Structure formats: structure tokens, C-alpha cells
């Protein structure tokens, strides 16, 4: 019996991971989050709470958790202070609690952008490549900080195996890259057209679930097996690229105007160079293979857009309605 705790079950990704794990009868799953899960979570039981470090230890001990999957990251929508609190300090607290409660394995969601976009990187970046120093947007800096801290933490706690799973930009839920692609005129740099890898939400969930149940040491890269040029990605998402000159961008940056690139979620260098990862290790050690190509994922995004939003609205309304009804029944 493997007991898994998913921290961040209140995200689409968390719900999907829970579903994937529910397939295995010998796995018991507990979800931890702050809101109700937005999608079905299979056999998982969930707890909606904001636990402190010691309460977390108590929970982990009481449930005899073996594996923790850490997905509770805020990428956008929260204030900077709140985000650091949850992303960095929350992860540190969780790692500390895991070490104390004797958890064997922690799977940490991370990002491929941590390798940086650099012409000195090989075109396919493998996991042994050192991470680049991130100066860019806040959420990526948080992910970097968590990886750095967890590497140090793992060195000091050899009994706990820490597995960062570096995912390419996710498509399927709201994500910073989708915000960028959904703009009518996303910005691109003149004279550059980097290639992108994407990752469908379902493939990401599959990879995280496999990483949770396997005993292979990490880290693992997860990404679609095909690549797509940025100009093509913009086109498939239904927009038209706005070309900006690099000196103009640099000048605007120097003057503190970061808005010139619109919602580009990465550093400026990612508009110049590709950041493509090698997923051989996930294929070999986890037996993971992506089911969705980057192109299909983006096409589906364009097709589903209104549909998806409508379905989500309806689901929320239904949930609220049923809750109200239930309360009414109990009152009577």
C-alpha cells in the first residue's frame, strides 16, 4: 500500500494527478488544498485547510504518508508577497514536515524554463545541465528558489528522496503562457523565432503520477515530443504577432517599463533562444510518453476556448446550487 498526499488538489493539475493515481488499487490518495477541487479527483479524499508546519507533520504521521506530491504553486493572480509566502515558504515548510514525519519521497513540480534560454545550452537539454540563474518574472524565480533549496535540503536529508519534475509550459489549464498566447497581439522580437515545447495537462499529470509511484531518482524533464515555433504557436492560438525591435525593448526595460512585452511569462532571452529539453530519462526510467503533441494541444486550445469557459462556468454554478440545496436539506 502506497499512501500519497497531493498538496494542491485545488488545481486542475492536482485533480488530474489524483485521478491518475486512483487507477492503482494499492494506492490511497489524500488531497490537501484551500478550495474545492475544480474537477473530479477519483478515489481521493480531500482536506480543505491551510495547515501550519506542525499540523502538517501531524497529518503526515497520522496518515502514514509515503509520498508527497507538491503542486501548490501560485503562478499568477496573487500579489507578489502572497505568492512568495505560498510558493517558497510553503514548500520549505512542507519539506521540513516531510523530513520530520518520515516521508520517503517528495515529487516537486518544477519548470523547464529554469535551464534558461542560452545559445550555449545544447539544443536538447538533459537533466544533468545546471540550472540558470533566473532574473525574470516572480513566479519563475520562486520555482528556482524552491529547486535550489530542495537540492540543499536533499543533500542534508539522504533518507528523503526529492524528485523535481520539470514541466514544459502547461496547456490545458490557465497558465502564464496561455495568458500570453490569448492576447490578440502577442509580442515577438524582430529577427528571432525560438522553438517551444509545450505540455498537455493530462501528460503532465501522467508524468507526475508515475514519478510519485516510481523509485527512480530525479529530476525528470517532461515535455511534448514535438516542438513548435513561437510564431506558429501564436498563429495556432488565434493571434497575430506584434514584432518589436530588441533595442526598443532593452530601452524600455532600462526605464523600468516591463509592460512592453505584454504578458510574456519568461525572461527576454526566451524570445531569442529556444529552451528545449531532452525527455529520454522520463521515457526510460518512468516509462512516460506524451499522448498529445504541442500542435494538437494548441489547436484544441483554439477550438475549445469558448466551450471550455462555458463548461467551467456551468460546473461552478451547479456546484454552488447543490451546496445550497444540501444545506437546505440539513436545515429542515
- Residue 43 binds other proteins, judged by CB under 8 A: no
- Residue 240 binds other proteins, judged by CB under 8 A: yes
Binding residue for other proteins (CB under 8 A) from 252, 273, 283, 300?
273
- Determine the Cα–Cα distance for residues 251 and 257; give it in Å rounded to an integer: 9
- Residue 198 binds other proteins, judged by CB under 8 A: no
Strand partners, 47: 32
Of the ranges 51-59, 95-103, 143-151, 231-239, which one interacts with other proteins (CB under 8 A)? 231-239
- Residue 189 binds other proteins, judged by CB under 8 A: yes
- Residue 296 binds other proteins, judged by CB under 8 A: no
Joined grid coordinates for residue 303: 477550438
Binding mask 81-120 for other proteins (x = CB under 8 A): --------------------------------------xx
Q: How many residues bind other proteins (CB under 8 A)?
A: 25
Sequence-separated contacts (24+) of 40-48 with Cβ below 8 Å? 40/15, 41/9, 41/14, 41/15, 42/18, 43/18, 44/6, 44/9, 44/18, 46/9, 48/10
- Residue 246 binds other proteins, judged by CB under 8 A: yes
- Annotate 7-70 with DSSP letters as a single string: ETTTSHHHHHHHHHHHT-TTEEEEEEESS--SS--TT-EEEE----HHHHHHHHHHHT--EEEE
- Determine the Cα–Cα distance for residues 169 and 180; give it in Å rounded to an integer: 12
- Residue 227 binds other proteins, judged by CB under 8 A: yes
Nearer to other proteins, 214 or 279 (CB): 279
Task: Give Cα 77 distance to the centre of its chain.
Answer: 15
Of the ranges 28-36, 108-116, 269-277, 320-328, which one interacts with other proteins (CB under 8 A)? 269-277
Find the binding residues for other proteins in span 117-156 (CB under 8 A).
119-124, 126
- Residue 189 is inside which H or E element, if any? strand 187-189
- Determine the Cα–Cα distance for residues 290 and 283; give it in Å rounded to an integer: 9
Binding residue for other proteins (CB under 8 A) from 41, 167, 168, 276?
276
Q: Which residues bind other proteins (CB under 8 A)?
A: 119-124, 126, 189-193, 195, 227, 229, 231-232, 235-236, 240, 246, 272-274, 276
Amino acid at each position: 500500500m502506497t499512501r500519497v498526499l497531493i498538496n494542491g488538489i485545488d488545481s486542475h493539475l492536482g485533480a488530474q494527478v489524483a485521478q491518475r493515481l486512483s487507477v492503482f488499487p494499492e494506492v490511497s490518495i489524500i488531497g490537501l488544498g484551500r478550495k474545492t477541487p475544480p474537477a473530479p479527483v477519483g478515489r481521493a479524499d480531500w482536506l480543505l485547510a491551510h495547515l501550519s508546519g506542525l499540523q502538517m507533520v501531524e497529518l503526515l504521521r497520522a496518515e502514514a504518508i509515503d509520498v508527497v506530491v507538491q503542486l501548490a504553486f501560485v503562478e499568477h493572480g496573487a500579489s507578489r508577497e502572497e505568492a512568495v509566502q505560498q510558493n517558497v515558504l510553503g514548500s520549505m515548510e512542507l519539506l521540513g514536515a516531510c523530513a520530520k514525519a518520515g516521508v520517503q519521497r517528495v515529487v516537486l513540480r518544477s519548470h523547464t524554463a529554469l535551464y534558461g534560454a542560452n545559445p550555449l545550452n545544447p539544443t536538447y537539454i538533459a537533466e544533468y545541465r545546471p540550472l540558470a540563474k533566473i532574473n525574470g518574472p516572480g513566479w519563475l524565480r520562486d520555482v528556482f528558489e524552491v529547486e535550489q533549496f530542495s537540492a540543499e535540503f536533499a543533500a542534508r536529508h539522504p533518507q528523503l528522496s526529492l524528485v523535481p519534475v520539470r514541466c514544459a509550459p502547461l496547456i490545458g489549464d490557465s497558465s502564464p503562457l496561455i495568458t500570453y498566447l490569448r492576447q490578440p497581439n502577442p509580442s515577438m522580437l524582430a529577427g528571432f523565432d525560438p522553438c517551444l515545447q509545450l505540455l498537455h495537462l493530462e501528460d503532465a499529470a501522467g508524468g507526475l503520477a508515475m514519478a510519485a509511484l516510481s523509485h527512480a531518482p530525479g529530476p525528470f524533464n517532461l515535455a511534448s515530443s514535438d516542438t513548435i515555433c513561437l510564431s506558429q504557436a501564436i498563429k495556432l492560438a488565434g493571434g497575430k504577432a506584434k514584432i518589436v525591435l530588441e533595442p526598443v525593448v532593452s530601452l524600455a526595460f532600462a526605464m523600468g517599463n516591463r509592460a512592453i512585452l505584454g504578458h510574456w511569462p519568461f525572461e527576454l532571452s526566451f524570445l531569442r533562444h529556444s529552451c528545449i529539453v531532452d525527455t529520454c530519462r522520463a521515457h526510460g526510467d518512468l516509462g512516460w510518453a506524451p499522448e498529445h503533441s504541442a500542435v494538437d494541444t494548441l489547436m484544441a486550445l483554439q477550438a475549445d476556448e469558448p466551450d471550455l469557459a462555458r463548461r467551467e462556468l456551468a460546473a461552478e454554478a451547479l456546484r454552488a446550487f447543490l451546496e445550497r440545496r444540501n444545506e437546505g436539506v440539513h436545515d429542515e
